[in-house]
Structure 1
Amino acid sequence: MAHPKRRQSKSRRNKRRSHFKIKEPLLKKCPLTNQKHLYHHAHWYEDKLYYRGKILYNKNKKDNI
């Protein structure tokens, strides 16, 4: 295994780590409910599961798709 000959300085270490940042999640507003949710994720609103502007599941109804 390769080993460094000299210890890297703090500034060189910090330059390398400067690109690791926490990104803000991409949120989208649903056209039906006006609720913000993650892209490509279904979301609950008033006991209904929405995905891409359509209702996938309704907790109150017995006959679900």
Structure 2
Amino acid sequence: MAVQQNKVSKSRRNNRRAHDALVAANPNECSNCGELRRPHHVCPSCGHYDDKEIVAQADEIDLDEDAA
């Protein structure tokens, strides 16, 4: 079990915790549809990334009823 050798002062404790704060998200605008999306991620509304369609949307997929 870890036991401290000396008391950690409030200043040292707070300096250690200085980098623990959460950073707010910085969304970018999708170049295809204009919706906000996370940087370096596929757009959740249109499925495009870097001006290419990566994920086909459900309404665009032609589902064959006989195949199921």
CA RMSD of aligned residues (A): 2.4
Give the letter for the 1:57 counterpart: A
Distance of 1:4 and 1:60 partners within structure 2: 60
State the match for 2:47 in structure 1.
49
Shift of 1:24: 2.0
Could you list the runs of 5+ residues in structure 1 that have no partner in the other structure? none
Percent sequence identity over aligned pairs: 25
Identify, as 1 or 2, the structure richer in helix: 2
State the match for 1:60 in structure 2.
59
Could you list the runs of 5+ residues in structure 2 that have no partner in the other structure? 64-68
Shift of 1:30: 0.8
TM score, norm. by length of structure 1: 0.64
Distance of 2:13 and 2:32 partners within structure 1: 48
Identify, as 1 or 2, the structure richer in strand: 1
TM score, norm. by length of structure 2: 0.63
State the match for 1:16 in structure 2.
16
Runs of 4+ with deviation above 6 angstroms: none
Query: Secondary structure in 2 aligned to 1:18?
Result: helix
Give the letter for the 2:42 counterpart: A
1:34 pairs with 2:42: no
- Count the aligned residue pairs: 61
